[in-house]
Amino acid sequence: MRRLLDVLRRLRRAKGPLRLRKTPAIPAGRRGLILVLALTSFAIAGDLQPASLATTRTDLNAKDQARVTAVSRPTTDFSKPEPFELMQGGAGTSRKDVSRDSFSQFSANISFEEEGTFKLGNALFRKNWVSSPSSTQASDGLGPLFNERACQNCHLKDGRGRPPQGDAGTTSMFLRLARDVSSAEEKAALADHRLLNLPDPVYGTQLQELAVPGLKGEGRMRVDYQERKVELTDSTVISLRKPTYAVDDLAYGPLDPRTTLSPRLTPPMIGLGLIEQIAPADILAHADPDDRDGDGISGKANIVRDGPSGELTLGRFGWKAQAASIRQQAADAFAGDIGISTPEEPKHWGDCTAAQEKCLATPNGVQARLGPAEAPAPVMDLVTFYSQNLAVPARRGLASPDVLAGKKVFYEIGCVACHTPKFVTRRDAPDKAQAFQLIWPYSDFLLHDMGPDLADGQAVGEATGNEWRTPPLWGIGLTETVNGDSFYLHDGRARSLVEAILWHGGEAQKARDRFAATGATERDALVKFLESL
């Protein structure tokens, strides 16, 4: 599969769009291979490849494919903005005035009726769940162990979370827990993608700091920082803070000695529906897991099991691309963060484990008249729709000379090798608001080795302990406006965009070093460009 994807990627880069028609631009041998690629189902681990892992786009005719390839090609002209660059979320881009609510606007191209659906989903996203039993029968089921009572309390203003700050708590950054394999059965389950990783035998998949009355929270995350001075080529000194993590006040005994702690900041919610509709072929075309072209960039896909169908599919959401769909990501968050069961994750006691007997004896919030889950299908429908239609804000100042100069630096030092500027979404997207849109997420949605400094040592599916999904950059310039602070990377260790860049290692080391070698004018321009996104 890797060899096949590499061949396909090389052909696309070398000769432009793949078309099933005769053209002098494609030698006869390659035309034959393209025909084979288009007509053959490929095998993954002995199974026929599902449509969700197709390596060619089946939603486009030859004319559309040519248009998509042309408009998606990286620019070489930095004298002016590119066509449509202002509208980085396509036709759904929000043109509202910049404010703290810039990440909370609905897609501009949904219907009036859909606006109502969006608002209902927003109400559920903000809803505080309560413990069972309760007189508010449609709102009980919290926990018994949990990190927050509402989705919005983690995704602050639909933006990113923040690391613990004094007594402010840790509700928008969590510690994921996972341990090494201990049996042949566990190894086989991981190899077959039936499990992403293995939970701590007592504390489960995530540290839960809060609990319903009568129970104790599992413990408290502790973060300690050490300042590290970095001198740039022009003698500018930047201070980076290196975090270390531990758990205090463990309530149910020690963690397994093999359990690793991985901090995860909640990411922004904007543009998720558009990301969901990027054709898998366009993401897989950037994959080069064995670095066959020798450029030092080895992006790879995280192949996961789709919850409802059980088919292998492309992971694209989460810090390690572990979720294939918005709905599955939402179901995982309901179960892990709030302790609410859904049809996708029918875990009425959330992340409670067999070792936590008192937790499992606590009443749950299932109401027979509403269905067999605490958040039944209609709730999931509304929350999913809301999450799919949070608009990406329009660019700002994109014609400024500083922004254009910074964009050129972004390209020249190699950031675009992972932060792919643009895609065109599927023409056959289920929701026409996300169909055939030119979007600018600045991510390839693949896994990359980011070096030992950012490593968490925790494997998730195909992702190793050194690998992270490239996060989208759209909206990053509004972080402080929306969230009132500027914390970046998976654990919020970076307090500025410059710090975030300087933490890059592994596959991004060359780009990071080129940034460190530029002068202050070029660095400032690059930051101006990022702030315009």
In order of 2, 40, 260, 462, 463, the CA distances from 303 in angstroms are 12, 20, 22, 7, 9
Q: What values do phi and psi take at 38, rounded to 5? A: -75, -30
Residues 440 and 494 in one domain: yes
Whether residues 424 and 398 share a domain: the answer is: yes
Q: For residue 4, tell me if it sits in a domain.
A: no
Asked if 498 and 522 sit in the same domain, the reply is yes
pLDDT of residue 507: 97
Last residue of a domain, one of 387, 408, 426: 387
Q: Give me the pLDDT at residue 167, please.
A: 64
For residue 273, the surrounding DSSP H or E stretch is: helix 272-276
The pLDDT score that the predictor gives to residue 11 is 36
Q: Which of 344, 365, 387 is where one domain is finished?
A: 387
Q: Is 349 inside any structural domain? A: yes
pLDDT for the residue 89: 98
Distance CA 281, CA 60 (A): 12
Q: Residue 192: CB partners within 8 Å, gap ≥ 6? A: 45
Task: Choose among 364, 352, 304, 320: nearest CA to 459.
Answer: 320
- Residue 125 confidence (pLDDT): 97
Q: How far apart are CA 351 and CA 356, in angstroms?
A: 10
Structural domain harbouring 435 = 50-104+271-302+390-531
Looking at the fold, whether 374 and 403 belong to one and the same domain comes out as no
The structure tokens listed for 266 are 């909640």
Q: Answer whether 176's CB lies under 8 Å from 262's CB.
A: yes
Does the pLDDT of residue 30 top 90, yes or no? no
Q: Please check whether residues 407 and 424 belong to one and the same domain.
A: yes
- Per-residue pLDDT, averaged over 486-505, amounts to 97
Triad 108, 111, 113: Cα angle to 5°: 130
**Is the distance from CB of 141 to CB of 132 less than 8 angstroms?**
yes
Average pLDDT taken over every residue of the chain: 90
CATH code of the domain containing 514: 1.10.760
End-of-domain residue from the set 355, 387, 419: 387
Kindly state whether residues 243 and 134 are assigned to the same domain.
yes
Number of domains making up the chain: 2
pLDDT tens string 144-162? 999 999 999 999 999 999 9
Burial class of residue 380, CB neighbours in 10 A (0-12, 13-18, 19+) = buried
Give the pLDDT of residue 168.
58
> What's this model's pTM, rounded to 2 decimal places?
0.90
Residue 422 in contact with residue 439, Cβ under 8 Å? yes
Model confidence band, residue 165 (pLDDT cutoffs 50, 70, 90): confident
Does one domain contain both 288 and 399? yes
* pLDDT tens digit sequence for 59-87: 999 999 999 999 999 999 999 999 999 99
Residues 381 and 247 in one domain: yes
Decide if 25 is inside a domain: no
Same domain (yes/no): 292, 422 = yes
Q: Is the peptide bond before 376 cis (omega within 30 degrees of 0)?
A: no
CB burial string 211-241: b at 16+ within 10 A, e below: bbeebebbbbbebeeeeeeeebeeeeeeebb
Strands (E), 436-533: 438-439, 447-449, 467-469
Residue 489 lies in a domain: yes
Verify that 296 and 432 share a domain, yes or no.
yes
pLDDT of residue 169: 57
Predicted confidence (pLDDT) per residue in 186-201, tens digit: 999 999 999 999 999 9
Same domain, 138 and 180: yes
The pLDDT confidence band at residue 384, using thresholds 50, 70 and 90, is very high
Model pLDDT, residue 309: 85
Q: Is 353 found in the same domain as 338?
A: yes
273, 117 contact by CB (below 8 A) = no
